[in-house]
Structure 1
Amino acid sequence: MAEDPIPEPGEPRLSDVAERFMRLVRVGSQSDPEHADRTPSTERQRHMAEVLGEELRSVGCEDVSVDEHAYVPGTLPASPGAERLPALGLCAHIDTAPDAPGEGVSPHVVHYEGGDLVAGVVAGEPVATSPAQVPDLEQFVGQDIICSDGTTLLGADDKAGVAEVCSLIARLHDDRTLPHPELRVAFVPDEEIGHGASLLDLERFGARWCYTVDGETLGEVNYETFNAAEANVLIHGVMIHPGSAKGVMVNAITLAGEFLDLVPAAERPEYTEGYEGFYHPTQVSGTAAEARLQLIVRDHDAGAFAHRAEVLRQIAAFMNGRYGEGTVEVEVREEYRNMAECFDDCPFLITNALDANREVGLDARCVAVRGGTDGSQLSLRGLPCPNLATGGYNAHSVREFVPVRSLEITVDVLERLVAKFAVPQTGVLEP
């Protein structure tokens, strides 16, 4: 693993969390949807898991292990006086997204003075983010911001979360006066391809409640997510020599375009926001004889979500009426559900997170996630798990960045949050 250069005399040395983050993003760990049938989907994640196992041991975690699926659990014992309280979990994912190049990440620090934030110059063109694209940039004038060199994503999603959790553990281990219950840490693979924490043994993990650290803008707390499904469309064409095709050929590529034309155009991601759901084509492949489409379907509302799946089936039925039964096949596979239903019995998970953010001076607010987190699976499996911000921006992009100060503030938020669980929670019955 490459080391960061030693600062010149007079230059400030990076904080613990920023230094850790820049080391970790250099370790490649992209997941691969083409190998989603195995966990982890890539050998790179196994290596990342071993690196994180050593990282957790180095900051004072006990019972650290790395299993065959690249899950990395560990435990920090409770501070004095909090030993009998329920354990609290902290979860982040080790993989980075396959949506942009992710190997050979070369992070660097840009001192931002306003205007466009330039990550790097590629083929003579700046790879830049403007304040019009990310209005929050105006808040970071005069701050140091970590970017990639513009050829790869940075990996703040979710190595910012990983680094922040590790730095929290290091802080608590070094200062035993800081209150906290027993903390159970879990770093998990393949979140970006919909797998995430699905193989985490919750009984063995032993946390009563949990938080994922996998969000974006500071101050945001997430307990609502999309309902999510993947739709696979298989189109069977009729292939014949084009010279004698009239009245016989059915071109599967043409039908793929027709299928997408029938999907409501105004309900694509680029035209939606807030609680608005969408249909999003993600892959297309094939020949005139057979073509495949893949879409993701998202909606916060369960009824609207079910309707979206039905719309895709109706499009297939319409096209089969035109071109023959069996021409178009649609399979819809549910990926995760909105976890909002899981917090009726533990609203303090939300209020504690909001209060911890406010205590460090942030504008704390609940924001519905236009996506999902490992907390979606964990909550619906019985481990209530809201999501916390990491401070990163432009995820899944070569323009991804994270301000150094945001990394540091998140560790402060986590310190105050875990302290709130060093006392019994109001209204909670002991199991």
Structure 2
Amino acid sequence: MFANYKFTAAERFLRYVQIDTQSDPQSNTQPSTGKQKDLSKILAEELLALGLTDAHMDEWGYVYATIPSNTDKKVPVICFCSHVDTAPDCSGTGVKPIVHRDYRGQDIVLPDDRTQVLRLENYPYLKTQIGNDLITASGTTLLGSDDKAGVAEIMDLVNFLQTHPAIKHGEIKILFTPDEEVGRGTAKVDLKKLGAEFGYTLDGGEAGSVEDETFSADGVELIIHGVIAHPGYAKGKMVNAMKIAGQILAELPKDRLSPESTEGKRGFIHPVRVEGLAEKCTIEFIIRDFETPGLKKKEDFLKTLVEETIRFHIGSTFEFKVTEQYRNMKEVLDVHPQVVEYAKLAVERAGLAVKMESIRGGTDGSRLSFMGLPCPNLFTGMQAIHSKLEHVSVQDMNKAVETLVHLVQVWEEKA
């Protein structure tokens, strides 16, 4: 089926990553940065050129499109989704992708910052890439495979199905979202317009991985109110909110309950932003746990720590605001087991070993699942995401496309 097919995922990817689509967590606009629409507009135009007549970008930067069914069977409508934005953690401006052909396990020194060296000893997954073609950035930016690899793979799926009409499938919806990296990827999505019953995000890592579980997540905003006075006459009067904040941060556990000291199924309390003056200081935290009730336990722990600290600073007060961010999608997917089972079967048909994984993070699929679109996460091949050593192989991207082709066939067969 794929013997004579010229995959287009890598070629598309190399173009897409050169478009700066970094999102901004401090922005209140939707999307958070207008430049995300630069890529979304191109994707809509390319989908139209591929024959998807309803393809369009809406005012919020979301791209919608439909591949019509070509079977007489009544097949559930499925959606494939990826996000166009890249993480605020590392620059996405001026990305220069480099293809390293026929990787043989050697160190790869990135030319624009020679201190950035991709080493097999640091990234053991590279052992599976011997003989493959790796794509990296040049050393001063991230690559953007999170999630432009997923975007390119979905686009190649469209290209394959449009040029291979003999492949039977039901109606397929395409969705590209902005602002996933800042937690607002589904803020303006129109699921009624999308019209899908089940979905898959392409936002995972190693080839063969299927992820049906994410963290549950809350945000906490801690506002500390001090007592301000002129510093020249502050004895016995001033209570410095910044110093209270520093004390609270210093008393957070270091050997547990932190990202630096947890792995697997263990969650954490993580300060992500501090801003303030002596009079008022704000600390923003993210709280993560695979068990939703565990969020409340961690929030209670943090609040108690704050209370114990504040009581030694007479006159100071605090506000403690908890905001729900997303929930573990496994709670929804366990009710619709076929969504994951069909994905596993498609991975196997693509000649890969299935790797069931839990995401120590979240995806658009977390929120989509609880909005009524059960949505596990599939691999794209991306590695070392959000960093200057980010990389992906051409071969893993092509395997992702193969998996998607098999997946649409599985849904048609099982209907």
Q: Give the TM-score normalised by structure 2.
A: 0.94
> Any idea what the Cα deviations from partners look like across 1:52-78, whole Å, max 9, x if unmatched?
111211223231111110110000011
Instruction: Show the counterpart of 1:25.
Output: 17
Which of 321, 326, 332 is the matching residue for 1:331? 321
1:242 Cα deviation from its structure 2 partner: 4.1
> Any idea what the Cα deviations from partners look like across 1:2-40, whole Å, max 9, x if unmatched?
xxxxxxxxxxxx9411000010111111111111x3211
Which of 43, 61, 64 is the matching residue for 1:70? 61
Q: Distance in 1 between matches of 2:225 and 2:153?
A: 49
> Any idea what the Cα deviations from partners look like across 1:138-185, whole Å, max 9, x if unmatched?
221232111111111111111100000000010000010112111001
- Whether contact under 8 Å (1:209, 1:383) holds in the other structure is yes
Instruction: Show the counterpart of 2:303.
Output: 313
Instruction: Show the counterpart of 2:253.
Output: 264
Q: Distance in 1 between matches of 2:53 and 2:367?
A: 25
Instruction: Summarize the alignment of residues 149-298 of structure 1 with structure 2, pairs less than 5 Å apart.
Output: 149-265=138-254, 266-298=256-288
Which of 397, 404, 413 is the matching residue for 2:387? 397
Q: Distance in 2 between matches of 1:150 and 1:172?
A: 36
1:253 Cα deviation from its structure 2 partner: 2.2
1:92 Cα deviation from its structure 2 partner: 0.7
Q: Unmatched 5+ residue regions in structure 2?
A: 1-5
The yes-or-no answer on 1:39 pairing with 2:30 is yes
Q: Distance in 2 between matches of 1:76 and 1:326?
A: 60
- Whether contact under 8 Å (1:316, 1:330) holds in the other structure is no
CA 1:263–1:140: 2 relative to 1, 3 Å? same
Q: Distance in 1 between matches of 2:294 and 2:315?
A: 27
1:338 Cα deviation from its structure 2 partner: 0.6
CA 1:338–1:324: 2 relative to 1, 3 Å? farther
Q: Secondary structure at the match of 2:82?
A: strand
Which of 8, 25, 31 is the matching residue for 1:16? 8
Which of 30, 39, 43 is the matching residue for 1:48? 39
1:248 Cα deviation from its structure 2 partner: 2.9
- Whether contact under 8 Å (1:31, 1:96) holds in the other structure is yes
What number of residue pairs does the alignment pair up?
A: 408
The percent of aligned pairs where both chains have the same amino acid is 40
Which of 106, 126, 133 is the matching residue for 1:137? 126
219-228 vs 327-336, which moves further: 327-336
> Any idea what the Cα deviations from partners look like across 1:230-254, whole Å, max 9, x if unmatched?
2222222334444444433322222
- Whether contact under 8 Å (1:221, 1:353) holds in the other structure is yes
**Cα RMSD over matched residues?**
1.7
The aligned amino acid for 1:335 is Q
The aligned amino acid for 1:71 is Y
- Whether contact under 8 Å (1:312, 1:330) holds in the other structure is no
Instruction: Summarize the alignment of residues 392-431 of structure 1 with structure 2, pairs less than 5 Å apart.
Output: 392-425=382-415
Q: Distance in 1 between matches of 2:336 and 2:276?
A: 49
- Whether contact under 8 Å (2:7, 2:156) holds in the other structure is no
- Whether contact under 8 Å (1:60, 1:169) holds in the other structure is no
The aligned amino acid for 2:17 is V
The yes-or-no answer on 1:347 pairing with 2:337 is yes
The yes-or-no answer on 1:116 pairing with 2:107 is yes
Instruction: Show the counterpart of 1:11.
Output: none
1:309 Cα deviation from its structure 2 partner: 1.4
